[in-house]
Structures are given as C-alpha cells and as structure tokens.
C-alpha cells in the first residue's frame, strides 16, 4: 500500500512540472514577461531551458525513470525559482501576499520531492538501460 502512495505522489509531482512546461511552450511570451518583470536576465533562453527541464523531468517522474536524480534536480530548480521569482520580502505590498503563498507552496513541493528522493532507488547513470524504469533496473518490477 505504501508503494501505491509513493507511485501516485510521484505521478502527481511529475504532472506538477510537466503541465507548466507545456504551458511555457504554448505561451512563451507570458512567461518571459513575468521573468523580465522580476529582473531575470536572459529571460528568453532561460524560459526555454525551464520548459525543457519541466517537460523532460516531469515525464521522467511520471514514468519512474531516474526518480532520485530528477527529484533532487527539481529541488534545486524549486529553490532557484523561489529565490528569484517569489522573493516576497523584496516586493511591493500589493504582491507580497500572493508571492508569499507561492513561496511556501513551493516549499511544500520541495518537501515532497525530498521524500520521493529518499524513498527512491539510487540508480547509476549508465547508457545501458537508461530507458527502463527504476523498478525494472532494481529488479522490483
């Protein structure tokens, strides 16, 4: 039963990253404008990098491939996003409430990623069998 909960959580975390990645691709100007409004340099290439990371990482989580590595990668991603785009302590009062909520919501996502990473199989990076699920590589499924 615990494995079912971990699997459902992994898939939901994957969707949490996949869907915004697809939204970035569908409406890049919106994301770039938001990034530029927050003083992010090189917003256009960083937006495309973030979209690719979101899509590929989300798909890897959903399909159960390299889960520990991807989860830790997303921990770094969430920290970067939090401190560059949701830095509520530097914002005018009209944005503080919304960005505080986003900041702490992201900390909850980060906590879920850390739990997932801790519960996941440590898998060596290797060109052989990279497409197989972590469970198949570990001999679990």
| Residue 141 belongs to some domain of the structure | no
Rounded CA-CA distance 141/137 in Å is: 8
User: For the segment 34-58, what is each residue's pLDDT rounded down to a tens digit?
Assistant: 999 999 999 999 999 999 999 999 9
| Residue 37 belongs to some domain of the structure | yes
CA distances from 6 to 60, 62, 94 (A): 15, 11, 38
Q: Look at 50 and 140; give whichever has higher pLDDT.
A: 50
pLDDT band for position 122 (cuts 50, 70, 90): confident
Q: Is the pTM of this model over 0.75?
A: yes
Domain count, the chain: 1
Lowest mean pLDDT among 33-37, 72-76, 101-105, 134-138: 134-138
| Residue 134 belongs to some domain of the structure | no
End-to-end CA distance of the chain: 15
CA distances from 109 to 12, 88, 93 (A): 11, 18, 25
Q: Tokens 């003083």 — which residue? A: 39
| Residue 51 belongs to some domain of the structure | yes
| Residue 36 belongs to some domain of the structure | yes
Range(s) of the domain holding residue 67: 2-124
């Amino acid at each position: 039963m615990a494995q079912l909960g971990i699997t459902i959580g992994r898939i939901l975390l994957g969707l949490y990253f996949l869907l915004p990645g697809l939204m970035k691709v569908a409406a890049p100007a919106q994301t770039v404008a938001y990034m530029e409004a927050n003083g992010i340099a090189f917003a256009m290439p960083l937006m495309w990098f973030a979209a690719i990371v979101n899509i590929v990482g989300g798909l890897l989580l959903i399909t159960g491939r390299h889960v520990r590595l991807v989860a830790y990668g997303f921990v770094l991603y969430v920290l970067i996003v939090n401190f560059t785009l949701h830095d509520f302590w530097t914002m005018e009062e009209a944005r503080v409430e919304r960005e505080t909520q986003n900041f702490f919501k992201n900390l909850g996502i980060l906590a879920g990623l850390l739990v997932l990473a801790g519960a996941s199989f440590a898998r060596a990076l290797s060109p052989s069998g990279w497409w197989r699920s972590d469970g198949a590589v570990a001999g679990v499924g």
